[in-house]
Amino acid sequence: MIEARKEKYESASFTSARINTIGKKLFQYGRIEVRAKLPKGKGTWPAIWMLGENRQRDGYPACGEIDIMEFVGKDPSNIHGAIHYPELDNKKMNSSTKEFPLPKSKDGFHVYAIEWNKKNISYFIDNELFHSFTIKEAEREGRENVFQKPFYLIINLALGGKWAGKIDKGIFPAQFYIDYIRYYKIE
């Protein structure tokens, strides 16, 4: 579980956390799935996402980004899946995004997944396909496709910001439950 709290820490009024696999585990192709229960409340912004392992060396957006699932508490009916990749100048960014209605669930848990191979990245919620991206769209003359290299996984509970909006101070503690993370490699 990742918990966001209304508490002072240095100059911040709230605390939260992230888990990432940088320096521990990289992924390239396969199925990545996370069974999770999202927090409720305006201002929450839980995400399951990935960045290219070259981020520290080449920066963003040159490393590419795969957003397996993003959710903003001000819009509790939908989840989002996205791909972000650079133009040739490595400064401008292209995106392929999809919003999808959050299905009903008896216990609030859903399985968020991608299936990634050399040609496509496909997005699923509870095994229902809701978005697909053709990797060839990210090809740029003179450089390797950003989605044909390893990425690391990040799971976090962010608060506020331009997209998530104003934080409802009555939602705390906000909890993002992670039941499991699974990776199935494609040989």
Judge whether 137 counts as a catalytic residue.
no
DSSP of 53-88, one letter per residue? TTHHHH-TTTT-EEEEEE--TTSTTEEEEEEEEE-T
Catalytic-residue membership of 187: no
User: Is pLDDT above 80 for 154?
Assistant: yes
Write the single-letter amino acid at 87. E
Query: pTM for this one?
Result: 0.96
**Considering 33, 53, 65, 115, which one is annotated as catalytic?**
65
Domain around 94? 2-184
Count of structural domains within the chain: 1
Q: Tens of pLDDT along 121-135?
A: 999 999 999 999 999
Count Cβ atoms within 10 A of the Cβ of residue 168 and give its class: 0-12 exposed, 13-18 middle, 19 or more buried: middle
Q: What is d(CA 21, CA 58) in angstroms, rounded to the nearest whole number?
A: 18
CATH number, domain containing residue 168 = 2.60.120.200
d(CA 87, CA 67): 18
Per residue in 65-102, pLDDT tens? 999 999 999 999 999 999 999 987 777 899 999 999 99
Catalytic residue, candidates 33, 53, 70, 115: 70
